[in-house]
């Protein structure tokens, strides 16, 4: 009887040098997935993630990427193609996790055009065009997981530009799912709630009053940690969740239910 070995699954996780992206990469590695991690400026932190993944018996590579600069995506795609060939002797990878991003905190009346454009470029335009450039490198039957925010469902003053961009990501996710169905690629979007990371300068993590306020609005009585979100993201890319498609999954511990 001829036996064929299924190749290792490979994920590309953007913004994986810290926070939720780092946790997602490590959670995927724990599931037996190899990982391409991207970073903006924290090369040392990205390499630390690579070493952690390798210590788990998986393979990993770190590549630089600015998701707010769509003009660099063609070169990045060539780097990914070369990395796949040299490290895995593969032409394609399995999972794309569009995670990288940052936020702007400013009232509607004070938000600058530059800040607004930054949110659109990083979150909406970046997700759109990076996915477009990665599609030739994603296996048929693969998965794409985009990242939104709980702030598309509930409102909290000062996040209008950020939340509007994330709302666009949610609509985009459904259109991606529709158009990529012919390739059996499923596309979903995870929406984290209040999570203690470096996001927004680490305000939620470091400001006790803000931390207490959000925890009081959360059914499980605390704010999220990166591993809470990374674990959900990895679960959404596990073998048993392939029938999920075009869905928004909120990982918030039950904020404002």
Residue spans of alpha helices (H) in 181-225: 199-206, 208-216
| Beta-carbon contacts of residue 190 (< 8 Å; ≥ 6 apart) | 145, 146, 147, 148, 229, 232, 233, 236, 249, 250, 251
* Cα–Cα distance, 226 to 186 (Å, whole number): 24
Number of residues that this document lists for the chain: 257
Q: Are 2 and 25 in contact (CB under 8 A)?
A: no
Q: Which residues are catalytic?
A: 162
Q: β-strands 10-13, 93-98: how paired?
A: parallel
Longest dimension (CA), the chain: 70
Q: Are 37 and 17 in contact (CB under 8 A)?
A: yes
Q: What is the 3-state secondary structure (H, E, C) of 175-197?
A: HHHHHHHHHCCEEEEEEECCECC
| Beta-carbon contacts of residue 117 (< 8 Å; ≥ 6 apart) | none
Which tokens hold the place of 226?
A: 């990166």
> How far does Cα 176 stand from its chain's mean position?
15
């Amino acid at each position: 009887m001829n036996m064929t070995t299924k190749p290792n699954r490979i994920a590309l996780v953007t913004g994986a040098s810290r926070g939720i992206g780092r946790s997602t990469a490590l959670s995927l590695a724990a599931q037996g997935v190899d990982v391409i991690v991207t970073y903006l400026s924290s090369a040392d932190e990205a390499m630390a993630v690579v070493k952690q993944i390798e210590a788990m018996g998986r393979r990993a590579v770190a590549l630089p990427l600015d998701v707010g600069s769509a003009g660099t995506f063609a070169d990045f795609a060539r780097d990914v193609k070369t990395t796949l060939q040299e490290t895995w002797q593969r032409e394609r990878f399995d999972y794309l996790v569009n995670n990288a991003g940052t936020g702007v905190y400013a009232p509607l009346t004070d938000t600058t055009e530059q800040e607004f454009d930054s949110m659109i470029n990083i979150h909406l335009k970046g997700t759109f065009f990076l996915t477009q450039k990665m599609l030739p490198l994603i296996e048929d039957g693969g998965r794409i997981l985009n990242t939104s925010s709980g702030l598309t469902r509930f409102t909290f003053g000062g996040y209008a530009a950020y939340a509007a961009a994330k709302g666009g990501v949610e609509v985009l996710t459904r259109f991606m799912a529709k158009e990529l169905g012919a390739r059996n690629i499923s596309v979903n979007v995870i929406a984290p709630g209040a999570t203690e990371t470096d996001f927004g300068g680490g305000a939620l993590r470091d400001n006790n009053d803000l931390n207490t306020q959000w925890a009081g609005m959360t059914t499980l009585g605390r704010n999220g940690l990166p591993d809470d979100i990374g674990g959900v993201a990895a679960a959404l890319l596990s073998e048993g969740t392939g029938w999920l498609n075009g869905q928004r999954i909120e990982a918030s511990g039950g904020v404002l239910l």
